[in-house]
């Protein structure tokens, strides 16, 4: 009989690992979360343009379209081609022909800025050309200490927002929120779901960790999945979300797609189905920040699986379907912003995902990696080019155009 040699006899061939002995101890921040390392210094964004060869043979040039923004968060194109841009610090800005107006737009409600919370999304009503409605989501001060999530609607008069009022407020959530109008004309509103150990996301009587479906005036549609159902808030469209950073409408099916941050890993793209539960915090493909897995399994009966997931996480943010012809080899692809990869700051970039006709993922490409910018939002412009926001102190709008 062959006997395996002992470690003592072959110390050179064996590595003894003592359970519980970490390779190294990392400094911890609030709540037992490891502090991010500081070894990578992000160089200032250069003047550009930056030229890239990409995997599908789509050569691109990346132009710095606009500079001078402070942590821009979201971007909406006006019919004129001008852009409305939110800054996390509470300002709404306008960019005309690539030039940032130095004066912020009047009429924005009072925003409480705290950490990564402040002014979030900006979207136009589908009938903006006739009704001039602009919608904002923001961290709303409620009393002295409490925060809430507000969705405000105002009239755009070409220079400022007027007649601004909240159409929706909840104190169940106060952090990041995306907005999108569906093909049905309803307003979809995401709410942050990581408070109360995330269990608010599973509570049908809490609006935290949900995607909500509202009429354009903030009232509740009577055909919502839980409308009239005891024990459920009627605004709820889907449950079990952690930290939604994008809502986008699929150009073919009209389905609302959502992406969200996992903890340490487990970022995901979901296709939203009325009344469906997406699992957070009971099911996740990520680890908790100190190291253990968030859940024992990655899939469970009764919960929707993600369409796309990232482990390690890229801190997904912003998402756009490319439907244009200028970047022809990318037509039909999905673009997702990333703010840091594998918990390492200074690793922000853009990702491109190619799907087959059944919307099954075939390929994934990392773009603009060398710029090391936190990509907060991705939008297709009316000119069929892609526009990105960099979530930096000296934030910029980047434009992706054909390289030739």
Listed as ranges, residues in the chain with pLDDT below 50 are 4, 6-14
In this prediction, residue 17 carries a pLDDT of 52
In this prediction, residue 157 carries a pLDDT of 97
In this prediction, residue 24 carries a pLDDT of 80
Q: What is the CATH number of domain 45-402?
A: 2.120.10.30
The string of pLDDT tens digits covering residues 108-148 is 999 999 988 999 999 999 999 999 999 999 999 998 889 99
Closest C-alpha to 137, from 235, 240, 246, 279:
246
* 213 beta partners: 188
Kindly report each contact of residues 351-360 with a partner whose C-beta sits within 8 Å and lies 24 or more positions away, as own/partner: 351/314, 352/54, 353/269, 353/308, 354/56, 359/271, 359/307
In this prediction, residue 19 carries a pLDDT of 60
State the SS3 of the chain.
CCCCCCCCCCCCCCCCCCCCCCCCCCCECHHHCECCCCCCCCCCCCCCCEEECCCCCCCEEEEEEEEEECCEEEEEECCCCCEEEEECCCCEEEEECCEECCCCCCCCCCCCCECCECEEEEEECCCHHHHCEEEEEEEEEECCCEEEEEEEEEEECCCCEEEEEEEEEECCCCCCCCEEECCCCCEEEECCCCCHHHHHHHCCCCCCCCEEEECCCCCCCCCCCCCCCCCCCCCEEEECCCEEEEEEECCCCCCEEEEEECCECCEEEEECCCCCECCCCCCCCCECCCCCECCCCCCCCCCCCCCEEECCCCCEEEEEECCCCCCHHHCCCEEEEECCECCECCCCEEEEEEECCCCCEEEEEEECHHHCCCEEEEEECCCCCEEEEECCCCEEEEEEEECC
In this prediction, residue 194 carries a pLDDT of 80
In this prediction, residue 66 carries a pLDDT of 97
Domain residues of the chain, as ranges?
Answer: 45-402
In this prediction, residue 253 carries a pLDDT of 95
In this prediction, residue 29 carries a pLDDT of 85
């Amino acid at each position: 009989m062959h006997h395996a040699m002992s470690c003592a006899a072959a110390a050179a061939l064996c590595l003894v690992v003592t359970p519980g002995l970490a390779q190294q101890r990392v400094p911890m921040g609030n709540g037992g979360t490891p502090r991010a390392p500081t070894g990578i210094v992000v160089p200032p964004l250069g003047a550009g343009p930056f030229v890239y060869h990409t995997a599908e043979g789509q050569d691109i040039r990346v132009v710095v379209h606009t500079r001078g923004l402070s942590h821009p968060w979201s971007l909406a194109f006006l019919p004129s081609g001008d852009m409305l841009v939110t800054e996390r610090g509470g300002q709404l800005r306008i960019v005309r022909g690539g030039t940032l107006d130095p004066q912020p737009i009047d009429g924005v409600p009072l925003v409480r800025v705290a950490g990564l919370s402040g002014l979030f999304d900006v979207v136009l009503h589908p009938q903006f050309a006739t009704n001039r409605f602009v919608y904002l989501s923001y961290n709303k001060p409620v009393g002295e200490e409490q925060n809430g999530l507000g969705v405000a609607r105002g009239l755009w008069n070409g220079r400022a927002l007027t007649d601004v009022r909240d159409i929706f407020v909840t104190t169940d959530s106060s952090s990041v929120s995306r907005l999108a109008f569906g093909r049905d004309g309803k307003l979809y509103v995401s709410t942050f779901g990581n408070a109360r150990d995330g269990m608010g996301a599973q509570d049908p009587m809490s609006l935290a960790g949900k995607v909500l479906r509202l009429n354009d005036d903030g009232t509740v549609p009577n055909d919502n999945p839980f409308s009239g159902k005891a024990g459920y808030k009627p605004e709820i469209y889907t449950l079990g979300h952690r930290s939604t950073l994008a809502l986008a409408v699929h150009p073919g099916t009209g389905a609302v797609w959502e992406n969200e941050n996992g903890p340490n890993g487990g970022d995901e793209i979901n296709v939203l189905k009325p009344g469906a539960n997406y699992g957070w915090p009971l099911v996740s493909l990520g680890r908790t920040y100190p190291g253990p897995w968030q859940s024992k399994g990655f899939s469970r009966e009764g919960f929707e699986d993600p369409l796309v997931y990232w482990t390690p996480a890229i801190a997904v943010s912003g998402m756009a379907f490319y439907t244009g012809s200028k970047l022809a080899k990318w037509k039909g692809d999905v673009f997702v912003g990333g703010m840091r990869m594998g918990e390492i700051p200074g690793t922000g970039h853009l990702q491109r995902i190619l799907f087959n006709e059944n919307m099954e993922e075939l390929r994934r490409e990392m773009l603009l990696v060398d710029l090391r910018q936190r990509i907060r939002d991705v939008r297709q412009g009316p000119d069929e080019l892609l526009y990105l926001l960099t979530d930096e102190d000296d934030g910029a709008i980047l434009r992706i155009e054909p390289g030739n």
